[in-house]
């Protein structure tokens, strides 16, 4: 081996050989995802114990590394790209998305400044513009890509703080007699990322007022208004409201228009968390879910949830991007550039930014808007089918409406008196049995104190056969528990 080669990268020919082998590996994976149990069957520590405690001193052949990947790591994967994955929110790393990530990794673009990647910077605006129009949001919204909805919502809370607390960027929150306790509002169904956001931004967890939801798991506007009035009279400063379009447990839709009216009257920042369900607004029959969102200050939709984009890509839309820039724009001399162009580092806390727009752009074109709508409609249809099966079975009951592709239900066998604790134990046992099957992975939640099984449909390869099998496994698990 020449000195140059031994100091350089893997040779292009070696990259070719391994690259082609990996293409074949992934193609086989796409063809037969059901070869693998969807939920990993290892025990905590198994993977770690199979690996040495120290890095090797000498180079190892890539073939051997790939063989270890197959032998040691594959058994420890939970297969998010498996058609039986129905836990949390089901996702898809679609073919065009995966190929785009491959190109993005090789190009290693870093879109902190326009000049460090004009294409990544401008394609981000273009792809988000496409998505914005598909969602029916007006062009008063600008967009920026973050990694996760956690970060999108955190930036919304930071912008809300910037708008509400004078000089907060310069003076912060501590030791100020002129800044009272602050408050952020959401329903008790809002995602835990809102809690983490208020903690990190220095509001404190108690500053998040989680309003009890109504019978259909939505934020009740009257209770929101009353809470704001109560806080104001107690000297607390209301800052922001987070409305959710597609809550995590039941995919409920908060009444965004009514909440927007309250926010406008009260001068509060309205952030809409549509991380999961926002994608459904592309369909005419679901467009109403974002009614009122055009009056929000910010909104997040995650293409890595229900738009078939490999993880990670969170799309953040904001009507007041100037406030976000006011909070975070900070240009040290070494990042000053001559071009009159927006630099995306100015809209966030993260300086480094991957070329995430490429995968969104490629898959929007590959599937086309109609193709995406058809796939989402298909998933909604599968969810409704499952809901009908549950509703028709005398030993099961549905625990929430199923407006999209997520169904919450539980077993409640006839002919016996059940305590809530007894039903929780029964359904937790059913959950464990179903997930041990390797064919299906579902999750759970708590709804008004009840333990609920939760099936979420959203993978591109999921068909009616998989949903029917999930339902069959649930029934078999109940039979086994009662036997």
* Among 143, 220, 246, 310, contact with a copy of itself (rule: CB under 8 A): 310
The least CB distance from residue 376 to a copy of itself, in Å, is 10
* Among 215, 340, 392, 483, contact with a copy of itself (rule: CB under 8 A): 340
* Among 35, 67, 74, 216, contact with a copy of itself (rule: CB under 8 A): 74
* Among 38, 163, 182, 186, contact with a copy of itself (rule: CB under 8 A): 182
The H or E element containing residue 239 is strand 237-244
Number of chain residues interacting with a copy of itself (CB under 8 A): 176
For residues 205 to 244, the per-residue mask of contacts with a copy of itself, x marking binding by CB under 8 A and - elsewhere, is: xxx----------------------------x--------
* Among 71, 138, 140, 171, contact with a copy of itself (rule: CB under 8 A): 171
Residues 12-71 within binding reach of a copy of itself (CB under 8 A):
12-16, 18-20, 22-31, 39-40, 42, 44-48, 51, 53-60, 62, 65, 69
* Among 229, 287, 351, 482, contact with a copy of itself (rule: CB under 8 A): 351
Residues 279-308 within binding reach of a copy of itself (CB under 8 A):
304, 308
* Among 156, 168, 227, 426, contact with a copy of itself (rule: CB under 8 A): 168
The least CB distance from residue 222 to a copy of itself, in Å, is 25
Residues 254-283 within binding reach of a copy of itself (CB under 8 A):
none
Q: Which residues contact 143 (CB under 8 A, 6 or more apart)?
A: 124, 125, 128, 129, 131, 132, 315, 316, 317, 318
Of the candidate spans 10-18, 221-229, 262-270, 394-402, the one that interacts with a copy of itself by CB under 8 A turns out to be 10-18
The least CB distance from residue 387 to a copy of itself, in Å, is 19
* Among 37, 84, 86, 117, contact with a copy of itself (rule: CB under 8 A): 117
Of the candidate spans 174-182, 255-263, 414-422, 468-476, the one that interacts with a copy of itself by CB under 8 A turns out to be 174-182
The least CB distance from residue 296 to a copy of itself, in Å, is 22
Structure tokens at 46: 């198994």
Residues 407-436 within binding reach of a copy of itself (CB under 8 A):
432
Q: How many CB atoms lie within 10 A of CB 413?
A: 15
Of the candidate spans 173-181, 259-267, 384-392, 469-477, the one that interacts with a copy of itself by CB under 8 A turns out to be 173-181
The least CB distance from residue 257 to a copy of itself, in Å, is 26
Q: What angle do CA 129, 133, 138 make, to 5 degrees?
A: 95
* Among 192, 394, 417, 421, contact with a copy of itself (rule: CB under 8 A): 192
Distance between the two ends of the chain, CA-based, in angstroms? 68
Q: What angle do CA 467, 471, 472 make, to 5 degrees?
A: 115
**Rg of the chain over CA atoms, in angstroms?**
24
468 is a site residue for a copy of itself (CB under 8 A)? no
Of 293 and 453, which CB lies nearer to a copy of itself in the complex structure?
453
The least CB distance from residue 346 to a copy of itself, in Å, is 10
Residues 370-399 within binding reach of a copy of itself (CB under 8 A):
370-371, 374-375, 378
* Among 67, 200, 226, 229, contact with a copy of itself (rule: CB under 8 A): 200
* Among 385, 437, 461, 475, contact with a copy of itself (rule: CB under 8 A): 461
Of 224 and 459, which CB lies nearer to a copy of itself in the complex structure?
459
């Amino acid at each position: 081996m020449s000195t140059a080669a031994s100091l350089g990268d893997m040779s292009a020919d070696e990259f070719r050989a391994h690259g082609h082998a990996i293409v074949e590996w992934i193609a086989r994976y796409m063809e037969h995802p059901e070869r693998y149990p969807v939920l990993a069957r290892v025990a905590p520590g198994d993977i770690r114990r199979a690996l040495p405690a120290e890095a090797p001193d000498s180079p190892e052949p890539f073939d051997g590394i790939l063989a270890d990947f197959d032998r040691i790591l594959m058994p420890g994967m939970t297969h998010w790209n498996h058609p039986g994955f129905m836990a949390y929110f089901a996702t898809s790393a679609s073919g065009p998305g995966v190929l785009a990530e491959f190109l993005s990794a090789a190009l290693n673009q870093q879109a902190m400044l326009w000049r460090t990647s004009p294409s990544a910077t401008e394609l981000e605006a273009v792809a988000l513009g496409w998505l914005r129009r598909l969602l029916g949001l007006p062009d008063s919204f600008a967009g920026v890509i973050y990694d996760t909805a956690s970060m999108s919502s955190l930036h919304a809370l930071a912008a809300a703080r910037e708008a509400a607390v004078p000089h907060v960027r310069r003076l912060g929150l501590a030791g100020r007699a002129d800044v009272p306790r602050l408050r952020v509002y959401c329903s008790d169904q809002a995602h835990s990322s809102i809690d983490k956001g208020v903690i990190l931004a220095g509001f404190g967890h108690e500053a998040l007022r989680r309003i009890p939801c109504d019978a259909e798991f939505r934020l009740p506007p009257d209770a929101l208004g009353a809470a704001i009035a109560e806080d104001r009279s107690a000297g607390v400063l209301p800052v922001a409201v987070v409305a959710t379009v597609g809550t995590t447990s039941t995919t409920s839709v908060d009444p965004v228009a009514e909440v927007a009216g309250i926010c406008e009257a009260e001068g509060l920042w309205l952030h809409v968390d549509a991380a999961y369900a926002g994608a459904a607004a592309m369909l005419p029959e679901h467009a109403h879910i974002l009614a009122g969102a055009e009056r929000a200050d910010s909104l997040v939709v995650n293409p890595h949830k229900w738009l078939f984009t490999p993880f990670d890509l969170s799309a953040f839309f904001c009507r007041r991007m100037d406030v976000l820039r006011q909070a975070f724009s900070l240009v040290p001399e070494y990042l000053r550039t001559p071009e009159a162009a927006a630099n995306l580092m100015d809209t966030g806390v993260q300086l480094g930014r991957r070329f995430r727009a490429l995968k969104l752009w490629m898959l929007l074109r590959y599937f086309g808007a109609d193709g995406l709508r058809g796939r989402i409609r298909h998933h909604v249809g599968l969810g409704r089918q499952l809901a009908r099966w549950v509703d028709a079975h005398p030993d099961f009951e549905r625990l929430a409406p199923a407006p999209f592709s997520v169904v919450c239900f539980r077993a409640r066998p006839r002919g016996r008196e059940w305590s809530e604790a007894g039903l929780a134990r029964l359904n937790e046992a059913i959950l464990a049995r179903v997930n041990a099957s390797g064919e299906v992975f579902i999750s759970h939640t708590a709804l008004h104190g009840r333990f609920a099984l939760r099936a979420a449909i959203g993978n591109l390869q999921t068909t009616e056969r998989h949903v029917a099998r999930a339902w069959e496994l649930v029934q078999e698990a109940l039979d086994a528990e009662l036997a």
